[in-house]
Structure formats: C-alpha cells, structure tokens
C-alpha cells in the first residue's frame, strides 16, 4: 500500500517492497499524474519486479565496470579494445543514468562519430560494447537494467578485399628477412592469424604425424584446431627444428626470442616486391597488402582447389559461415575463368543449331523469335510436360 504527498509544488510517492520503503519524486505538480505513477510502481512490485526508481540510480560507469570485469574474468584477448571502446563511450554517456541512454541519444552519438571521420566498423565495435553492457546489466541479480534500448548498427562498407596472387606471395617472401619467410609460408597455406602463428610452440607440432594443433583457448574462437601439413610446410618445419634454439619454445622466432612486431620488415618487403602505393586514409604511401590478406588468400585457394567449404573452415579457423563467405574473395581471374567456361559451353552448339547432350540425343534450338520448351532441354526435371509447357524460355 502506498501514498502520495506534496513537497512544495511537486507530488512525491511512497511505496513498499519486501517491507522496505521507497520514496520517489513524480516530477510533476499534477496529482492525477502522480497517482498513475504510484499505481504503475505498485504493479511492478506485484509482478515481483524492482520499482523503476531502482534503475534510475544505476549510472553508465557501473555498467561499464561490469563489462570490463566480464572481459577480465573470461580471459578475453581483446581487453585493450574493450577498454578503448569504454573510454570513447564515456565521453558521450559518462555520468548518465541508464534510463537516460535512449535510442535517440545513441543515434546522436553515432552521428558525431561519423562526423569525426570514424569508419562504420570502428563505430559498430563501440555500439556492440554498449549493447553488451546493457545485456549484462539486464542479466545481473538483481537486474540493473529494466529495458535494453534499441542500438542501431551501421552497414559496414569498408571491408577489405585484399589477397595475394601466387607471384605476389613469392616476391614478398623473397624480400623478407630469413626469420619471417617460414611465417608467411605458413600463413599462405593455412590462413592462420598472425598471433596464432607467432605463438605456436614445439609441443604443438608432431612432425612424425605431420600435424600442428591449437588447444582450446589458443585460437580467437576458443576452439581446438588440428592442421595436417603439406610437404612444403613439413619440410620448412623440419628445417626450423634442426636449427632450434635451446630454451626457446617458439617454432618461429628471431634469434631465440619471440617475434613481436614485424611491421618494419613487412613495409620494406612490400616496397621491394612492388606491393606499395598511396593510401588515402593514411595520406601517404603504404603497403597495399597486410598480413591478414593471407587469411583471405588461403580461403580462396582452398575453395579453388576443390576443398569442401566445411573442411576449409576447419583449416582456417572460421567459426561462422557468414565470415567465411566474406573471406572467400572472387578475383578478376575467377571472373575470366567463368567467361571462358561460358564461351566453351556456347561453342559446344553445332553449326546446324543442335546441342549434343550427354544422353546422346540432339535437341533443336528454336528459330529466332520463337521459344524452346524447358522440358526438352532438361528432360522435364520431374515435372509434367503440361506444367513445363507453361514455362517456356525465349532464346
């Protein structure tokens, strides 16, 4: 049972939950409006929910702290990126109570970030962090968020489409220092991420069985992975093992120490290999290829070689079909090959207008302006002749 009372011109509410009194301003001088708010609060309590005033006390900083704590306790490798997102979000939402962070304010934040020249992908990572904060707050006990606002995500149009042709890979590898040559060879054939390759240790390599493995938690998607080496990679790893430094557990190293940042050597090699040009975003000349392009290249080469897509995903470590499709890049040569195949198909028609099919029967093409029945070309495909007659195709 609750009541309303006045403080000056403003009506206040008083109600109880589990014997604990709550006092809340209605923020209005209208008695009827204050009465309606009281009934709403009593209805929330009757459903076993926390009264709305509880959520008004939660601020952005509390959700942000819970968000970063979740990253730390789960050992997420992108903690530094999460902290950067929180810093950027704090500039706009710092000090705000949670009910004040509405979809309209989020859209205004997005507009400001776009005006500042940020890419859609960067803004989306920040919005994803904000959305995660709200969901964690809603899932906590007791909940800190009554309702998760709609967070509009941007369409990402700046996805990279770079990949290496075989000649470019050979030229780049030749220009790299000796300690990086086996690294790029491994990336070219497997599509593994740079961090996964540089962190590979000898206990994960079995040259007798010809396998390399990543244990759960060592890959980005937290799943175990086993790779069977081809002859070139196996030979390269045997050479590295023969020159292995005592006390160094890493397969790929530089004078017995883990390779940390190969960007300087990468830029020099790209310049020497002709993979160099003006970058509009950076406003200067820069490499036209990045290491991550090996990931796209490996996926494309596996698919070209006829490897089943599910197997290719297991090799490269792609967890979802959507991301795999984004990396399965079609090049100009792929399109040329499609044109050649189409031309060969059309040339298989004989000069007298007949097409020889595998069953050994010739099917006449129609004169210009007439049509040929699809059933005649594909043997009806399980449909009735009457049904197919209604679906003729013009030539």
Q: Given this model, what pLDDT does residue 126 score?
A: 94
Task: For the beta carbon of residue 268, count every other beta carbon within 10 angstroms.
Answer: 14
203-to-185, 214, 249, 260, 269 alpha-carbon distances in Å: 20, 10, 8, 20, 31
List all residues 6 or more positions away from 234 whose beta carbon is below 8 Å from its beta carbon.
Answer: 207, 210
Report the C-alpha gap between 214 and 8 in whole angstroms.
69
Pull the structure tokens for residue 59.
């601020």
280 touches 286 (CB < 8 A)? no
Positions of the chain with pLDDT under 50: 353-395
Identify the H or E element spanning 324: helix 321-327
Report the C-alpha gap between 56 and 25 in whole angstroms.
12
Concatenate the DSSP letters of all residues of 351-374 into one string.
Answer: TTSEEE-TTS-EEEPPPTTSEE-H
Report the C-alpha gap between 21 and 380 in whole angstroms.
77
For the chain, give the percent of residues with pLDDT over 90.
35
Identify the H or E element spanning 284: strand 284-287
Phi/psi for 266 (5° steps) reads -65, -45
First and final CA of the chain: distance in angstroms?
81
Q: Given this model, what pLDDT does residue 104 score?
A: 93
Q: Given this model, what pLDDT does residue 57 score?
A: 74
Query: 339-348 — which CB contacts under 8 Å span 24+ positions?
Result: none
Helix (H, G, I), strand (E, B) or coil at 243: coil
Pull the structure tokens for residue 19.
């014997």
Q: What is the CA radius of gyration of the chain?
A: 32
Q: What is the 3-state secondary structure (H, E, C) of 216-236?
A: CCCCCCCCCEEEECCHHHHHH
Which residue(s) pair with 211 in the sheet? 206, 228
**Rounded to the nearest 10 degrees, what angle do helices 120-139 and 60-73 cross at?**
90
Nearest to 211 by CA among 233, 187, 193, 227: 227
Task: For the beta carbon of residue 270, count every other beta carbon within 10 angstroms.
Answer: 22
The whole model's pTM is what?
0.56
Q: How much helix, strand and coil, in percent to the nearest 5, is found in the chain?
A: 50, 15, 35
Angle value at C-alpha 305, between 301 and 308, nearest 5 degrees: 100
**Rounded to the nearest 10 degrees, what angle do helices 181-190 and 231-242 cross at?**
150
Q: What is the pLDDT of residues 240-288, one digit of tens each?
A: 999 898 889 999 999 999 998 899 999 999 999 999 998 877 788 999 9
Q: Given this model, what pLDDT does residue 106 score?
A: 95
């Amino acid at each position: 049972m609750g009541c309303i009372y006045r403080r000056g011109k403003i009506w206040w509410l008083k109600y109880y939950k589990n014997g604990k009194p709550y006092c809340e301003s209605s923020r209005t001088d209208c008695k009827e409006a204050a009465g309606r708010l009281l009934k709403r609060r009593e209805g929330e309590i009757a459903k076993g929910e926390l009264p709305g005033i509880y959520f008004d006390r939660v601020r952005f900083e509390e959700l942000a702290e819970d968000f970063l704590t979740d990253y730390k306790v789960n050992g997420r490798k992108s903690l530094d990126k999460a902290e950067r997102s929180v810093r950027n979000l704090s500039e706009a939402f710092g000090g705000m109570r949670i009910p004040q962070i509405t979809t309209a304010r989020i859209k205004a934040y997005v507009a400001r970030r776009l005006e500042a020249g940020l890419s859609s992908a960067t803004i989306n990572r920040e919005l994803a962090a904000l959305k995660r904060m709200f969901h964690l707050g809603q899932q906590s006990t007791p909940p800190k968020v009554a309702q998760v606002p709609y967070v509009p995500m941007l369409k990402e149009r700046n996805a990279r489409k770079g990949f290496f042709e075989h000649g470019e890979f050979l030229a780049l590898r030749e220009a790299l220092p000796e300690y990086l040559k086996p690294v790029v060879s491994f990336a070219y054939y497997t599509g593994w991420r740079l961090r996964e390759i540089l962190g590979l240790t000898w206990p994960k390599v079995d040259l007798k069985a010809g396998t390399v493995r990543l244990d759960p938690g060592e890959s980005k998607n937290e799943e175990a992975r086993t790779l069977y080496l081809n002859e070139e990679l196996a030979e390269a790893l045997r050479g590295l093992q023969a020159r292995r430094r005592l006390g160094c557990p890493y397969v790929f190293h530089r004078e017995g120490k883990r390779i940390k940042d190969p960007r300087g050597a990468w830029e020099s090699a790209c310049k020497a290999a002709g993979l160099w040009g003006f970058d509009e975003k950076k406003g200067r000349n820069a490499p036209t290829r990045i290491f991550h392009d090996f990931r796209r290249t490996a996926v494309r080469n596996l698919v070209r070689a006829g490897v089943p897509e599910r197997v290719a995903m297991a090799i490269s470590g792609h967890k979802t079909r959507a991301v795999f499709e984004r990396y399965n890049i079609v090049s100009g040569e792929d399109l040329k090959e499609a044109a050649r195949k189409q031309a060969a198909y059309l040339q298989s028609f004989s000069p007298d207008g007949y097409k020889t099919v595998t069953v050994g029967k010739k099917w006449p093409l129609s004169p210009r302006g007439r049509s040929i029945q699809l059933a005649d070309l594909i043997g009806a495909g399980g449909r009735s002749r009457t049904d197919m007659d209604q679906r003729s195709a013009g030539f």
